[in-house]
Structure 1
Amino acid sequence: MTRPPLRIVLADDQAVVRTALRMVIERRADFHVVSEAADGAQAVAAAFEHRPDVVVMDVRMPGMTGVDATRAITRQWPHADPHPKVLILTTFDLDEYVHAALRAGAAGFLLKNSRPDQLAEAIRTVAEGESILSPSTTRRLIETFTRSAVAGPGATAGEADLVDRLTERERDVLILLAKGHTNPEIAAALGLTETSVRSRVNRILTRLRLDNRVQAALAAYRAGLIPGEDL
């Protein structure tokens, strides 16, 4: 049975950017743009009205910012069904935006100069309930956290035991994930299909009792799978 296309809202204050994004997204049969928004308030209204699967959200917009709109969508959702996943798409690879967006409930953060296939993969990834960050952002977040008390000096005994229980192939996937690689890049490096990689990532998160890829990357670092100089 064919799955219905993912329903997407595009939010960006520049009409030319929205048009370009729509063209890139709707080239794929499994995507459908149901609405566009020129600012954060319009994005919230469109999300509430159309109940999309994913909102692709710019950060800097007039009036209500993308971060504020994300917070409103994730925390003030008026319907019984789950709120849409929010993918932040921006030209600004700045930690303050990343942290604010993640705190507001965004499921992913990707740069506008990412390749079309990376954008498509990011939309599919967040729609399936995973988190995703641009590779450069992932590496910086890991570096930040591993220097802080959050990361700690090493894995706990329980965490190390869980990592040890991963299969060899799952450990290979975890190492590449922790270095900031996307699912297609991991698939190409290991000779796997993207579906197989996605399945293994989900199993890794379940086995390690984690919620997202960033937490998995930190676990890999703490377990000694990723030397600091390889970040």
Structure 2
Amino acid sequence: MTIRVLLADDQEMVRAALRAVIDRREDLCVVGEAADGGQAVDAAFRLRPDVVVMDVRMPGMTGVEATRRILTGWPPPDPPPRVLVLTTFDLDEYVHSALRAGAYGFLLKNSPPDQLAHAIRVVAGGEAMLAPSVTQRLITTFAGLPLGLLPGAPASAPGNRGLIDSLTERELEVLILVARGLSNLQIADALGLTQANVKSRVNRILTRLGLDNRVQAAILAYEAGLLPPREET
């Protein structure tokens, strides 16, 4: 089945480059473009894409606000599109906001074409796409914050430790690999599990910990001491 993609970026040359990368893949197809957040919202509701590739910095309505409006205003019964945010390291505050808004993935603008295509497929399949470098940067940024200020995390450190202690040994292994930035396929290879089994375990972990996505799980694992403070990914 072809994955339908909406591109949202204020630079026409960037949109053209993204379209060229996406449309040359047989299983991907660009169904529309938007030059700002407002256009992205309108196009998303009109075109019903599977994935929105969303720049965060656009004139007028930002990509963060557009993401929020698309996901909160999406009418049932059809599921909303997955939002893949394009970001750079010097815009961490936008990444944090996009996470809170419900974005499913974060990709650097200078990522290789194959990585963009892979990220679109991953988020279309319902899995978060988090490059290890982006995950590590987020963890480092949040490391000094009280847990109650972390987006989506439970309010207290003792409570978080108790929640983590409720996980099984295998779930802890999966959580640590999620925190390292590994995909479900990479985790499956590392632990000798099927990808479907890993996906099920990740969903169970998020539910037990009261979290929305893998970045929040990575932050929580870091704060709980499951990873060294300066671990490289």
- TM-score tier (shorter): 0.7 to 0.9
Change (3 A) 1:205 1:61: same
TM-score scaled by length of structure 2: 0.78
Change (3 A) 1:60 1:223: closer
TM-score by length of 1: 0.79
Give the match for residue 153 of structure 2.
none
Within a 5 Å distance, the mapping from 1:52-131 to structure 2 comes to 52-78=49-75, 80-91=77-88, 93-131=90-128
**For structure 1, which segment, 146-155 or 192-201, has the greater mean C-alpha deviation from structure 2 after superposition?**
192-201
Of 27, 33, 38, the match for 1:36: 33
The residue that corresponds to 1:166 in the other structure is: 169
Cα shift at 1:54:
1.0
Deviations 1:90-130 (A, max 9, x none): 34542211122223332222111122333233223332334
Instruction: Count matched residues.
Output: 225
What is the alpha-carbon distance in structure 1 between the residues aligned to residue 97 and residue 165 of structure 2?
33
- Provide Cα deviations, 1:11-50, integer angstroms capped at 9, x if missing partner: 1122222122122223333322111122222211210111
Shift of 1:63: 2.7
Q: Distance in 2 between matches of 1:212 and 1:226?
A: 18
Aligned-partner Cα distance in 1 for 2:81–2:54: 12
Moved more, 30-39 or 192-201: 192-201
Matched residues in 1 for 2:57 and 2:22: separation?
Answer: 21
- Which range is displaced more, 13-22 or 200-209? 200-209
Identical positions, percent: 64
Cα contact 1:86–1:107 (8 A) shared by 2: yes
Which is worse superposed, 120-129 or 43-52?
120-129
- Give the aligned partner of residue 227 of structure 1: 228
In terms of mean alpha carbon deviation, does 144-153 or 93-102 score higher?
Answer: 144-153
Q: 1:212 to 1:68 in 2, by over 3 A?
A: closer
Bigger shift: residues 123-132 or 41-50: 123-132
Change in CA separation of 1:158 and 1:90 when aligned onto 2, cut-off 3 Å: closer
Specify every segment of 5 or more residues in structure 1 that has no aligned partner in the other structure, as ranges. none
* Residue equivalent to 2:152: none
Q: CA RMSD in A?
A: 3.0
C-alpha contact 2:164 2:209 (8 A) present in aligned 1: no
Tell me, yes or no, if structure 1 residue 215 matches structure 2 residue 212: no
Letter in 1 for 2:50: D
1:215 Cα offset (Å): 2.4
